[in-house]
Amino acid sequence: MVDNSPNTVTLSSAAAARVLQILTKEEQGTVLRVSVEGGGCSGFQYKYDLVKTIDEDDLIIERDGAKVVIDSMSLQYMAGSQIDFVNDIIGQAFQINNPQATAGCGCGTSFTL
C-alpha cells in the first residue's frame, strides 16, 4: 500500500541515500522495515530490520530508488513522521521526527505518546 496522505510517513533524501547504500550490500529484494515496539526508556522504541518480505497491509515508502516498509500497527504510532538520517559529530543514525511523540530519550530511539 502506497499512501500519499499528509498523515503518512516520509523519507528524507539523506535517509533514502543511506538506505540505498545499505541495500547495495544486501540480496536483491531486501528492504528496510521500520517498526515500533514497546520498550526503551520512554515507553516505545523504533526498530530497524532488513527483510525480504512485504506484507499486504504494509505501507511502502519509496524515494530515489530506496524502499522502506512499515507495518500497519506501527503506522498508527508513526503517522506524520519523517525518517531522516543524520551524520554529525556524535555519530550516524536514522532519526525519526515524530509529531505524535510527547517526549523522547537522549538516544533518539525511544519515545512517549
- pTM here is 0.83
How far, CA to CA in Å, does 97 sit from each of 27, 39, 56, 100, 111? 29, 18, 26, 9, 11
What are 75-93's pLDDT values in tens digits? 998 999 999 999 888 778 8
- CB under 8 Å to 28, separation ≥6 — which residues? none
What are 51-64's pLDDT values in tens digits? 999 999 999 999 99
Task: Please give the radius of gyration of the chain, using alpha carbons only, rounded to the nearest integer.
Answer: 13
